Structure 1
Amino acid sequence: MRAPADFERSDDNGEAVLRFSGNLSLACLGDLPARLETVEGDVARLDLSDIGRMDTVGAWVVHRFARDRGARIEGLGADEQHLLEQVIAAEHPIQLPPPPPGSLTRALSEIGGAVINSGKTLYGLLGFMGATVLALWHVITHPRRFRFNATVQRFEVVGVGALGIIGLMSFLIGIVIAQQGSVQLRQFGAEIYTINLLGRLTLRELGILMTAIMIAGRSGSAFAAQLGTMKLTEEIDAMRTIGVSPMEALVLPRVFAVVFMLPLLGFYSSIISILGGGLLCWVDLGITPVTFIQRIREVVPLTDLWVGLVKAPVFGAIIAMAGCFHGMQVEGDAEQVGQRTTTAVVQAIFLVIVLDAFFAVFFTNVGWT
């Protein structure tokens, strides 16, 4: 029977009592909640002894009214009392999401997060460098632990495998430098100084810098992806379990390979760039190869070569350790392999450029100009 919910007010020993009747269910409530809102004065008790049945909605209406007016609820059967207790226990304030921050606040938050993340990454990279130095000391004190075959294999992958792409890139860069330099210098009748520009720029800066950027994108990313995959497949954990140090077996061969091969690749890149620029000077400016080589020997000091060769091992160490560090940080899923690989390349290139600026200022101050 769907008896509509209703109530009446009465006084019992000076206390205001609301006596409910009918069914306190969703189908029978009707305008009961609205009429309860119009009840004036204090209410001491709610008498529910005459109701037929009560569902969750009815229990919530009664509980809300009793809570707001400070009234007691009486007359419920065992089932209805249990239902009311469940409704009361489930009551909790709804936590609304905070309003979206403004554009300035969001921008500052993102900048702050990026700075904090960069600081943590730099701190971790410094710690990884320390671990690499310790591993190197262990290998020096225990030469039998040196992985000769793995190191030679890395030499081939990092050095010999990169000769083609670095040679092509350097040859084209030499042509571009010579062409753009000759166009600008021709306005002053000083095309011969294209040789000065080409020789000093490639040996001192671009030969090493472009090679380092290429190695960071080619080998640094490969290191991060290889070690990241090994971390996911738990190969590195297995190496630790059997007593093999991952720093000695995986990191040091890669660091050695890049540190020793980058000076050679940088010198190779500089020579190829000079050859490319010399070819354009011969074709476009009419400067013969003999004249070009003589001019190079006259205007390019030996210190330019030493500057490039000094910077190269430092760049190589940064590239190798950045790639290995981010590879060892992979956790969770395969998506992090891609993320860490990208981060390794970007961080290595950024650090190489920062160090190159530092070296430029340093060598200028010590007189190697």
Structure 2
Amino acid sequence: MKKYSIFKYVVCTMALIAVLGACSDNSESILLGSDDRLYFSSAEDGRTFTVCASGAWQITTEVQWLSFSKSNGEGDGRTRERIIVSAAHNTGAARQASFQLSAAGKTLVVNCEQEEGHPFKLGTASLSSSLQVGQSATGVSVNIPYEYGYKGMKLGLHVSLGGEAAEGLTVEDETITLEAATGTFSIPIGGTPARSGKLTVTISTDQADVAPVSLNTTVNDRIILEQHFDLCVYGGDFVGGHPGTMPTWIKDGNGKNIPPEPLGNLQSRTANQDGSNDLFATMAHSYLISKGLEDWEGSKVYERPGYIKLGTASAVGKIVTPAFGALGKDKSNVEVALRVAEWVDEEGGSLVISFEGSGTPSIATYTYKHVKAKAGSEWEDVRFTIRDASADTRIIFTTKGNKRFAIDDIVVSVK
């Protein structure tokens, strides 16, 4: 019995090899397809399909979202011909269709299924850094997050500028190719702003079903402090709902945390996990310098990608800006702009604003709107003024009524 089983296995294996090597070794009319069902993702997607036929063969379908690298040919009954079946980008409900392969008086039906998709969407735009009257905009770009795209998707972009501060600024139209389904692309700004004041940046695409997005910002007279936390790269993004990474820290001679050299493999972090220990309590001073935080102070402050998170589940955090030394000896009225986001699972809190040194703020608290996004939180814009600020003025940001929040894009400018 055992010998019979081995013999049967060898025979079946040889038969399979023969089938894979050629469609047929006789003159019988042949029509073979490699699959009777194909599955596609929602992105523009392709699948390999092979045809083996005697004589002329043809592929037909009644739907427009399926296409073929080759839809007809002439077979020799032995050779498998490889074609690519493609499904167009799906922005709606899951869908099904079929195509027919015909030859030698026979027809094969191949069923196709494509998963549910979503329309391509632009997120909230922001500037990579602030604009100042009389200073070249070279190096400043408009950053626009997006979702529901796909790798290789080509996107034509047009940016229009409006408002009193648009004079002197330019943005060229361009076409970009996306590298992933979700990400951020940047559009450079050119020229030199001739006037301070309000600036509106509107971004549109060549996709008819994609709504334009607008950014309302300001061209400043004179910037005296600016921090975008762009040097912070580690940790998960709880605002956007994306995972991240973090080094495996080692200790320096003072017992403080530093990244190893070489960096080595990075640890994975979920969207809700920090990218550092408490920056001001446990990280080395050299690390703070590398993050552009040399003259800042704080407690319970943690690195996140492109921003900082303050507080823990049990303790409130705070951050203190450097002094406004650029103001010199005179007192001035300044405007402060920043972005905040409350922790996903906490509500009812307020940003608390206080000072060291001179100055009277226009507000002492800002109540978070806490608009929940699909994956995380939403950034909220905060603006206020400080009357009679001086070179010794420092702003202290903390929170009340909740424990955790994020802060980013702090800009202080002379009004």
TM-score band w.r.t. shorter chain: under 0.3
Normalised by the length of structure 2, the TM-score is: 0.23
TM-score when normalising by structure 1: 0.25
> Which of the pair has more CA radius of gyration?
1
Q: Which has the higher helix share?
A: 1
